[in-house]
Amino acid sequence: MKFQDLVTVGIKVCGILLIFLGLRTISLQYSFLSTLVGSSDDSVRVYTFITILEILLIFLCALVFVKFPNLVAKKLFPKEVELNVNLSQDAERLISVSCCVLGIYILSWAIPDFINNALMISFLSKSMYMSDVVYIETIFAEVVTVVEICVGLFLCMRSAGLSELVWRFRGARGA
């Protein structure tokens, strides 16, 4: 089994999870839009457009992850990684692959959360909502989401270095 095959399985699982995330986003955005329609705010059309764009983006990513996981896996790994995986001997490489898949999973929920929080902040930034507790909570949620995105990107891009660090902490290799 190649490393790329392991990542392909993880990417496909992330795609399936994105489908469920998209369905959840539809229900959340529908309830939020239904409360906005009653208000006299002019930004309802813009918010509706961005919401539809967000949902389409989630389902497009899910489609790519489910239908074309090999293409995504090829983009994540350098071309020189063509070795086969022997699960009993290549634990260090398996940790690297697992970190990369974990990073993709974190990004699959953090990016839609970032968009949701940004939309909420833009709506709540109207002068009458700025003193609301929900506004402050949404700002904190956005900061946490940015940290999650950074962690996900780190796990995706630097998974080999993190694997080396884990391997050293376990004492499997001398410093």
Task: List Cβ neighbours of 46 (8 Å cut-off, separation of 6 or more).
Answer: none
Q: How many domains does the chain have?
A: 1
- What is the amino acid identity at position 108? S
Which tokens is 83 given? 């070795």
pLDDT at 11: 85
Residue 174 lies in a domain: no
pTM given for the model: 0.57
The answer to whether position 175 is within a domain reads: no
Q: Which helix (H) or strand (E) holds 14?
A: helix 3-37
Q: Which residues are bridge partners to 84 per DSSP? A: 2
| Tens digits of pLDDT across the chain (175 residues) | 677 777 788 888 888 888 988 888 888 888 777 777 766 667 778 888 888 998 999 999 999 999 998 888 888 776 655 556 566 556 666 777 777 788 888 888 888 889 888 888 887 777 666 667 778 888 888 999 999 998 888 887 776 666 666 666 666 555 4
Q: What is the pLDDT of residue 135?
A: 80
Give the model's pLDDT for residue 175: 45
Q: Does 74 reside within a domain?
A: yes
CA distance 26 to 58: 10
In a domain, 130, yes or no: yes
Determine phi and psi for 84, rounding to 5 degrees.
-85, 155
Are 4 and 85 in contact by the 8 Å Cβ rule? The answer is no
Containing domain of residue 86, as a range?
Answer: 3-169
> What is the 8-class DSSP label of residue 2?
B
pLDDT of residue 145: 92
Helix or strand or coil: residue 39? coil
101 part of a folded domain = yes
The identity of residue 46, as a single letter, is V
